[in-house]
Amino acid sequence: MPLALLALAVGAFGIGTTEFVMMGLLPDVADDLGISIPTAGHLVSAYALGVVIGAPLLAAATARMSRRTVLIALMGLFVAGNALSAFAPDHHWLLAARFVSGLPHGAFFGVGAVVATGLVAPERKARSVSLMFLGLTVANIAGVPVATAMGQHLGWRATFLGVSVIGVAAIAALFLLIPHDRAHAPEGGLRGELTALRSLPVWLALGTTVAGFGALFSAYSYITPMLTDSAGYAEGSVTLLLALFGVGATAGNLLGGRLADHSLRGTLFGGLLSLAVVLALFPVLMGAQWSAAVGVTALGAAAFVTGSPLQLMVMEKAAAAPSLASSANQAAFNLANAGGAWIGGLALAAGFGTTAPALAGAGLAVLGIAVAGTAYAVDRGRTERPAAGHARVVATGVPDRPEALRR
């Protein structure tokens, strides 16, 4: 694998750290700025909103630029957003800074996936994407705990300064390791790329991402009460168990990339099915501490097996607009985060028990299988229709044309 993938992984590590670290810093930020924790929670939403808006917008705006230049510029915006967060004088400025920090997230992963697949042979595309995503999963094991501890001991502003330093290191790695490429004009221009996104299979592929990762976040958003109320863990043990989730996610990500290079469709459907099974078993797994630890690890593995297959599925369905579609898929991941948490919350509020969000997630995973199956069925129907016309030509030996022209 090319060393350039390391540069993409470093950028992904920084992005993953700043995305998830805010959850652990909410009490510190709230106390320092004199706001309530629910109000501080809007800082998480502001980042997600930046991802959803920035992913397609920045991908479209930079469609004609060199992808190497785009990646460096996006990481520069990431550094600026985190530096602004570190020096934000009040809650409103921090809210704006978090929004800015989220803007480059989706476009970086979207353009990065296109660059990663272009660096390797066709039979290694999924593995290259999984290695880029490796930075995101490792951030859950090392980056987020370290950054959270830094914020608790040195102040939350030190955390965002530290993340800015990671971003600067990523810029240096991108500059040194990513091969130079020329500015390119997509076929048909920006309008052509937008037209490619109007395809039904593309939207079904994006819907698969929303349903599949919505299944994860339906359960993961409420993993702490499951572990404390159902499994009987002390609150102080939750951080270690979330690190186990990161270990599972890292293993699943690497396994999914390797398997998807052999069978993209099989890995996608197998991953979604395994995710549905793990979530359906959560009421049993949360019955004991040892099985709860196994369940959390298995949840990370089953969910992230589908990471690179979902990314490649969207790029496959939108071959004429890979950067824009790939970036839109990152927006879909964040919609899955918000939507999954909302659906899990409804299940919890309905009084079906602490593990009810996991069962709701199992339903979403099954929905993801159905949506993915529909996407492939629609695609197959479109490719078989021209093939049928070609078969008539071969059978008769006469081109398919009006009778008058045949005479």
- CB-neighbour burial class of residue 252 (10 A; exposed 0-12, middle 13-18, buried 19+): buried
Sign of CA dihedral 17, 213, 248, 356: positive
Does one domain contain both 294 and 319?
yes
C-beta neighbour count of 266 within 10 angstroms:
12
Q: By the 8 A CB rule, do 94 and 85 touch?
A: yes
The total number of structural domains in the chain stands at 2
At 400 the pLDDT is: 44
Q: Which of 211, 220, 223 is nearest to 363 (CA)?
A: 211
Q: Which of 298, 317, 281, 78 is nearest to 199 (CA)?
A: 317
Does one domain contain both 75 and 150?
yes
Does one domain contain both 164 and 228?
no
**To 10 degrees, the CA torsion angle through 382, 387, 389, 390?**
150
Q: By the 8 A CB rule, do 299 and 248 touch?
A: yes
Average pLDDT, the chain: 84
89: helix, coil or strand? coil
Does one domain contain both 222 and 167?
no
Amino acid at 364: L
Does one domain contain both 19 and 48?
yes
At 148 the pLDDT is: 79
Q: Of 253-267, 288-302, 307-321, 391-405, where does mean pLDDT reach its minimum?
A: 391-405
Does one domain contain both 168 and 206?
no
Q: By the 8 A CB rule, do 343 and 221 touch?
A: no
Residue owning tokens 């690890």? 297
At 124 the pLDDT is: 86
H/E element holding 400?
none
H/E element holding 90?
none
Domain coverage including residue 118: 1-179
Distance (Å, whole) CA 138 – CA 131: 11
Does one domain contain both 141 and 199?
no
Sign of CA dihedral 322, 361, 238, 225: positive
Q: The domain spanning residue 18 has which CATH number? A: 1.20.1250.20
* Confidence band, pLDDT 50/70/90 cuts, at residue 194: low
The answer to whether position 236 is within a domain reads yes
Does one domain contain both 243 and 340?
yes
The answer to whether position 186 is within a domain reads no
C-beta neighbour count of 238 within 10 angstroms:
17
Does one domain contain both 153 and 241?
no
- CB-neighbour burial class of residue 131 (10 A; exposed 0-12, middle 13-18, buried 19+): buried
The answer to whether position 407 is within a domain reads no
C-beta neighbour count of 194 within 10 angstroms:
16
Distance (Å, whole) CA 322 – CA 25: 36
pLDDT tens across 344-400, in order? Answer: 888 888 888 889 999 999 999 999 999 999 988 887 776 665 544 444 444 434 444
pTM of the full predicted structure? 0.78
Does one domain contain both 157 and 207?
no
| Helices (H) then strands (E): counts for the chain | 19, 0
Asked whether residue 307 carries a pLDDT value surpassing 90, the answer given is: no
At 222 the pLDDT is: 84
